[in-house]
Structures are given as structure tokens and as C-alpha cells.
Amino acid sequence: MSEGAKTSANGGGFRFKVRGPRDFYGGLALIALAIIAIWASGDLPGTHGFAFGPGTAPRLFAGLLAIVGALVALGGLLFDGPPLDSYAIRGPAWVILAILAFAGMIRGFNLGFVSIPPLGLVPSTFAAFMISIFGSSEMRWIESLIAAAVMTAFCVGLFVYLLQLPFQLWPWY
Amino acid sequence: MSELLANLALGFSVAAHPYNIGFCLLGALVGTLVGVLPGIGTVATVAMLLPITFGLPPVGALIMLAGIYYGAQYGGSTTSVLVNIPGEATSVVTCLDGHQMARQGRAGAALSIAAIGSFFAGCVSTVLVAALGVPLTSIALLFGPAEYFSLMVLGLIFAVVLAKGSVLKAIAMILTGLLLSMVGSDLETGAGRMTFDIAELSDGIGFTNVAMGVFGFAEIIRNLEMSQESRDIVKAKIKGLMPTRQDLIDSSGAIARGTILGSLLGILPGGGAVVASFAAYTFEKRISRTPERFGRGAIEGVAAPESANNAAAQTSFIPLLTLGIPPNAVMALMVGAMTIHGIVPGPQVMTKQPELFWGMIASMWLGNLMLVIINLPLVGVWVSLLRVPYRLLYPSIIVFCCIGIYSINNSPTDVVIAAIFGLVGYWLTKHEFEPAPLVLAFVLGPLMEENLRRAMLIARGDATVFATRPISAGLLAVALFLLVLAALPMIRKRRDEVFVE
């Protein structure tokens, strides 16, 4: 059906074709998530007498998720489905980079090996806008710079002056 | 009856306060403004605009949020009619005939009839909410932890039934949402759960971060993949804003039927507005003497679903305000907003804060009035907004979201978490998992766990309590029935047929 991946069974050399790779790998990811959750909540006390402990519900739902995930994966193995969709790199990369830039610049950060001081709302907003612009192939420099400036001014006006949120505006104040 | 009138009078005296009218108007305006943007649905709009209400007094904030909600919903319809891009699930059906009308140059009539139908539906359902609020609150007092748990199970099953695609995958999303909601400190013992020793996670994952990530950011990432043409819009001139007398006569029956259907379906927990609009459209088509006109610009095909989804949007406040249970993702956001203002949604709101409760109900009607006032003259403005090229639109949305998330806790970590959930949302759509059930489960998670634990404790560890208490058993039976119904592939096929038409 698809050009999707194949898994080989042990022993006899049978090759199963994954018929619905979207469901198959989606299901596998859910199982992985469930295993992580069970592992992460493993140190929490469980049911004590009649009372649930903090660990009971997470393990309960993680167990259910593992079962449902397995069923989804099994469905993907047995039934025809659409092939895996290709992932775009450019859009997601620049969008995420823009968001991270905003998060890093607004209050500054210190990771030990690299640190930047708090830069405030104005540089952060402007930078996030300009970085995210690169996510589209249709970008134009002059237009983008003007739009970034307008948007920054609008945000400062709306959030700081109109809604009175306590934001630091500039690196020095 | 006189009590009802007295309550409504109290409500209107609160809602008609100049400040509150202002908030309502502003909310409806901003909600429409954002909701009209292609690809941004009601949930995303409300999520994005949530932070701007934080600085307001509680009553004003909720009234403004209600305004935003109606505005966003109407904005979605505008986009459907003008550009054939449904901003959200409820306006998918509006696209069918609405866009055809727009192509025939009758976009004005379509938009006006949508506004008029919505207003009529709003008037009727406001009275219904006011009338049903009190009796339903007394029912709520019969509810113990077991009943609450079962009711939430029912709500989640509704979300499963309404999700497009596989039932199994929707259940998987529910479980994922429940699991994510358990990150952070335990409700009873305060033990950190699944926090991986990250201090920022000890308070749990913020709801807004999840919602903005999987709806807002993921949507942008997805839209960037599409070619420019698929986002393109009708540049045709809109001629004649007002519907003709014949249009009004044709659509009056459809509006009335849509209102009734929508009001009934909206009360059910689990996202009534979507079913309501689909059901109303199908019903209109079935009873029409000329069903072949549907899909070719029949005005009933716009009037019925628009009335229905507005009525349902309104009555979906009933489960929220009386039982404290959000029936859909937007109401879940409302719960988030209430909690931030220190209001615990539920039956006690009506007795302890009557001015809030009735003020909100009255503001629903005002919100609808605002929509008519705003939208009829502003149709031309909305069209011009759609001409902003996407290459400038999406960076603005990103910046707006970033500031919005950051403003909630002044926490850059929240922004990073939202970015992560943006990628998660992108991945989910690639594997055809729907994010809406996940978000609903994420909100209901803590409430569900609390009630589950309490019910089990009261029943001394006996899990059969959910089946032996009559109300709880009834709710679970309905949930099971719905699940079976959804799992039957024949029903699925029929649902897809509605979609294809």
C-alpha cells in the first residue's frame, strides 16, 4: 500500500508490511509515552487501603493508554491507511525558533555555558516577529521590517499602556 | 415566573452597567476581529484573548470573554462565507451554501441572514438558559463524587463521538490528556508527580500553554505548509448588504427549527455546537421540497446551521454554570478564566454570586445584540482584513500568542512549553489524532481524578459504586450507548456523507 516502513518478524523470515503507517507509528509513540509515564510515576506510593495514592491514577491511565496505543498500532499494522505525511522543516523550525527567542530574550536566561541579560518586551517582540518571517518563502525585507515595527508598537500600546501589564520594555529599564 | 423575571432584571442591571456593556462590545469586536482570520477557530481566539481579560474585575472579565466567544463564532462564519475557509468545526456547514451565495455576489445577504438567525437563536436560548438554570442547579445537589465522575466520563465520550476519524484514536487522545493533567503536585499529598525534578513543572502544565500550543502554533505551522492558492480569497465585490423580503420569508422557518435543535443539543456535554450545525443542515435538507438547491446557494442552508450553532453555544453554558462541567474546549477555557479570578464554577455560583451568574446570562443576549450591531456595518472591513497577506499575518499571531502566554505568569518557561506543544500538535495532525479531545480531557483531568478518588474512598474501595448508584449508572449507560453508536462503522459512513455533500 504505502512506501512506508516494513518490520520483519522473527524466525521464518516473513516480512509484514505496515499497512497504515500513520496509525502504526502513532500508536507506537503513545505506547512510548505510556511507558515513560509509568516509569516517571514509579516512585510514587500507590493504593493504600481504600485510598488512592498519588501514583495510582497516573499508573492506571498510563496503563490504559498503553493498551489503547497498542490497539491503534495493531490497527495500523492490519488495515490499509494513508502513507506518512512528509514533515516540513522550514516553517516549524523558524516558528519554534522565534518563540524560543522571545522566551529567552524577554527575561534573559542563564544555562551556565551561555547567558543573556533580560532584554525586555520591545527587542523580544521585534526579534520574534523578524525570525518567524523566515518561516515563509514569501518574505520581503522592507515590508517585514515595517510590519515588525508596527506590530511591536501595537503590542506595547495594547499590553503595557492599555492593559497595564507589568512588562519591562527595554534592556535598560 | 416572577422569580425568573426578577433574576433576569438583576442580570440586566449588572450587564447594562456602562463598563460591562463596554467590555461586552469590546470582546465581541476583538473576538470577531481575531475569529475572522482564516485558520483561527473559536478555541484559538478565546485562548489567545484570555490574557487580556486578566486585569479586569471578575464579572467584567467573564462578560468580555462571553463577548469574545460570540464574536469569534460569528467571525468564523464570516470567513466561511467569504473565503470558504471554516475557522472552526461549527462553520464547516456554513461554507457549503454560504460560499456559493458569496460567489453569486450575495455574500451580504448570507452574512446578514447569519447575523439575524444568530440573534433570534440567541434571544430564545437566553431565556431557556435562565429558565433551566435554577431547576438544573437543584439536580446538581443530588450529585455526589460518583455521579460527577460518570458525568465527566459522559462528556469525554461525547468528545470522542464528535471527533472526526477513528474512535480509538480519540480515546487515546483522552487518555493522553488525562495523563498530562496529572503532571505536577498531587492534589491530596502534594507529592510531585512526573515532574522529572523540573521546578517549573511542580505546578503542573498550564492549560493556556497546551491550548495555544496545539491549536495556535500548530495551526500556523500547518498553514505554512499549504500553498498560497489554498489560502486565497474571493476578491469579488459584495453587492447589497441586506437580504430581500423573499430571503427573510425563505429562511424564517429554517431559523426557528435551527434554534430549537441547537438549544436541545447544546445542553448535552461534549461539544453540542458542532453536532447542532450539522444536524440542522441535514434536517433542513431532508424536509425541503427542493433539496437539490442545497449546496448551490440556498439561504436556508446558511440560516439553519448558523442559528443552531449560536443557540447551542448559548445553552452550552448551562452545564458549565450549573454543574461546573465544561461541555467543550471553549467552555474549558472559561473554567480556566473563572479559576484565575477565584471563582469555582458549579451550582454554588448561582447562590453565592447571583450578580455574576445572571449578569453573564444577560450579557449573552447583549453579546448577540452587539454582534448584529457590529457585523452588519463592518462586513466590508472584515473582507479587507482578509486581504492582509499571510506572510505578515502569521508573525503577528505568533508574537501576540507569545506575549499572551508570557503575561499569564510572567514565565518564559510557559512560552517554551507552548512551543513544545506546538510541535506536539503538528505531529498529532500528521498522524490524524485530533487535539480537541486531548484538551478537554486535560481540563477535566484533575476534577475527574479528585471525584474518582473521593468516590472510591466513600465506597470503601468498591468500584461497583459507579454502577449501583442510579444516576451514575444511567450516565454511564448513556456513555456506553454513545460509544457503541460511534463505533458502528455504518454511522461513521453516514456522518462522512453529510460532510461530502
Render pLDDT for A30-39 as a digit per residue (tens, 0 to 9). 999 999 998 9
Domain boundary among A53, A78, A103: A78
Instruction: Say whether both A39 and A74 belong to one domain.
Output: yes
CA dihedral A120, A123, A129, A132 (to 10 degrees): -90
State whether residue A52 sits within 8 Å of chain B by CB. yes
Tell me how far apart the alpha carbons of residues A149 and A157 are, in angstroms, rounded to a whole number.
Answer: 12
Chain B nearest-CA residue for A23: B431
Tell me how far apart the alpha carbons of residues B327 and B415 are, in angstroms, rounded to a whole number.
Answer: 27
**pLDDT tens-digit profile, chain B (501 residues):** 677 788 778 888 877 788 888 888 888 888 887 777 665 667 767 877 777 777 788 888 888 888 888 888 888 788 777 766 665 666 667 777 887 787 777 777 888 888 888 889 988 888 888 887 777 767 767 778 888 888 778 878 877 776 667 788 889 999 999 999 889 888 777 778 888 877 778 888 877 788 778 877 887 888 788 755 444 444 555 556 677 788 788 888 889 998 988 887 777 655 556 667 777 887 787 787 877 787 777 888 888 888 888 888 788 777 777 777 776 667 777 777 877 787 777 777 777 777 777 877 787 788 888 888 877 777 767 666 666 777 887 888 788 788 877 877 788 888 999 999 999 999 998 888 888 788 878 877 887 888 888 888 888 878 888 888 888 898 899 889 888 877 776 455 545 555 544
Distance of CA B171 to the CA centre of its chain: 20
Q: What is the mean pLDDT of residues A105-115?
A: 80
Specify the pLDDT at position A4: 41
Question: Which residue type is seen at B125?
Answer: S
Instruction: Say whether both A70 and A100 belong to one domain.
Output: no
DSSP string, B171-227: HHHHHHHHHHHT-EE-TTT--EES-TT-GGGGG---HHHHHIIIIIIHHHHHHHHS-
Tell me how far apart the alpha carbons of residues A39 and B196 are, in angstroms, rounded to a whole number.
Answer: 11
* Local confidence band at A135 (pLDDT 50, 70, 90 cut-offs): confident
Specify the pLDDT at position A2: 41
Contacts of B209 (CB under 8 A, 6+ apart): B405, B414, B415, B417, B418, B421
Strand partners, B192: B185
In a domain, A168, yes or no: no
Distance of CA B13 to the CA centre of its chain: 27
Contact B419 A92 (CB under 8 A): no
Tell me how far apart the alpha carbons of residues B223 and A95 are, in angstroms, rounded to a whole number.
Answer: 12
Has residue A13 got a pLDDT over 50?
no
Tell me how far apart the alpha carbons of residues A142 and A146 are, in angstroms, rounded to a whole number.
Answer: 6
In a domain, A83, yes or no: no
The number of distinct structural domains making up chain B is: 1
Domain boundary among A56, A78, A100: A78
CA distance A12 to chain B (A): 31
Contact A147 B392 (CB under 8 A): yes
Contact A68 B430 (CB under 8 A): no
- Closest CB to B225 among A44, A91, A129: A91
φ and ψ at residue B88, rounded to 5 degrees: -160, 170
Tell me how far apart the alpha carbons of residues B10 and B28 are, in angstroms, rounded to a whole number.
Answer: 22
Interface of A with B in 76-105 (CB under 8 A): 84-85, 87-88, 90-92, 95-96, 98-100, 102-104
Instruction: Say whether both A54 and A109 belong to one domain.
Output: no
Question: Is B267:B311 a contact under the CB 8 Å cutoff?
Answer: no
Q: Exposure string (b/e) for A113-151, b if CB count within 10 Å is 16 or more?
A: eeeeeebbbbbbbbbbbbbbbbbbeebeeeebeebbeeb
Specify the pLDDT at position B501: 43
Instruction: Say whether both A100 and A65 belong to one domain.
Output: no
Instruction: Say whether both A112 and A50 belong to one domain.
Output: no
Interface test with A, best of B193, B205, B421 (most A CBs within 10 A): B193
According to DSSP, residue B237 is labeled P
Chain B nearest-CA residue for A155: B400
Residue B22 sits at the vertex; the CA angle it makes with B18 and B23, to the nearest 5 degrees, is 120
In a domain, A84, yes or no: no
Contacts of B110 (CB under 8 A, 6+ apart): B81, B97, B98, B101, B102, B299, B302
Chain B nearest-CA residue for A57: B449
Contact residues on chain B for A26, CB-CB shorter than 8 A: 169, 431-433
All three cell numbers of B259, joined, read 434554534
CA distance A172 to chain B (A): 18
Chain A nearest-CA residue for B461: A50
Instruction: Say whether both A62 and A10 belong to one domain.
Output: yes
Task: Domain of residue B273: give its range.
Answer: 2-500
Complex-level ipTM: 0.86
Strand partners, A109: A116
Interface test with B, best of A33, A59, A61 (most B CBs within 10 A): A61
Could you tell me the sign of the dihedral formed by the alpha carbons of B391, B395, B398, B400, in that order? negative
Instruction: Say whether both A65 and A119 belong to one domain.
Output: no
In a domain, A141, yes or no: yes
Specify the pLDDT at position A7: 43
- The larger pLDDT score, comparing residue B345 to residue A62, is at A62
In a domain, A36, yes or no: yes
DSSP string, B399-412: HHHHHHHHHHHT-H
CA distance B244 to chain A (A): 41
Contact residues on chain B for A102, CB-CB shorter than 8 A: 399, 402-403, 406, 415
CA distance B426 to chain A (A): 9
In a domain, A171, yes or no: no
- Closest CB to B398 among A29, A55, A132: A132
Task: Give the residue from B423, B404, B405 showing the smallest Cα distance to B414.
Answer: B405
Instruction: Say whether both A100 and A152 belong to one domain.
Output: yes
Task: Domain of residue A17: give its range.
Answer: 6-78
In a domain, A14, yes or no: yes
CA distance B408 to chain A (A): 10
- Closest CB to B217 among A30, A99, A133: A99
Residues in chain A: 173
Q: Helices in chain A by DSSP H: which ranges?
A: 21-40, 56-78, 90-107, 121-133, 141-155
Instruction: Say whether both A97 and A138 belong to one domain.
Output: yes
Cell 488525562, located at residue? B178
All three cell numbers of B366, joined, read 447583549
Instruction: Say whether both A109 and A69 belong to one domain.
Output: no
The number of distinct structural domains making up chain A is: 2
Contact residues on chain A for B172, CB-CB shorter than 8 A: 27, 30, 65, 68-69, 72
CA distance A169 to chain B (A): 12
What count of CB pairs under 8 Å joins A to B? 201
Interface of A with B in 108-167 (CB under 8 A): 109, 121, 124-125, 128-130, 132-133, 135-136, 138-140, 143-144, 147-148, 151-152, 155, 158-159, 163-167
Strand partners, B122: none
Question: CA dist B272 to B38, B178, B242, B481, Å?
Answer: 23, 22, 30, 17
According to DSSP, residue A16 is labeled E
Tell me how far apart the alpha carbons of residues B113 and B236 are, in angstroms, rounded to a whole number.
Answer: 19
State whether residue A61 sits within 8 Å of chain B by CB. yes
Contact B406 A132 (CB under 8 A): no
All three cell numbers of B481, joined, read 450507548
Interface test with A, best of B406, B410, B448 (most A CBs within 10 A): B406
Interface test with A, best of B194, B219, B460, B483 (most A CBs within 10 A): B194
According to DSSP, residue A8 is labeled E
Specify the pLDDT at position B492: 54
CA distance A79 to chain B (A): 12
All three cell numbers of A78, joined, read 492490519
Question: CA dist A70 to A13, A65, B108, B274, B320, Å?
Answer: 23, 8, 51, 30, 35
Contact residues on chain B for A100, CB-CB shorter than 8 A: 415-416, 419
- Closest CB to A72 among B169, B182, B430: B169
φ and ψ at residue B431, rounded to 5 degrees: -105, 15
State whether residue A32 sits within 8 Å of chain B by CB. no
- Closest CB to B172 among A68, A98, A166: A68
All three cell numbers of A52, joined, read 488512592
Q: Which helix (H) or strand (E) holds A110?
A: strand A109-110
Instruction: Say whether both A10 and A59 belong to one domain.
Output: yes
Domain boundary among A78, A99, A121: A78
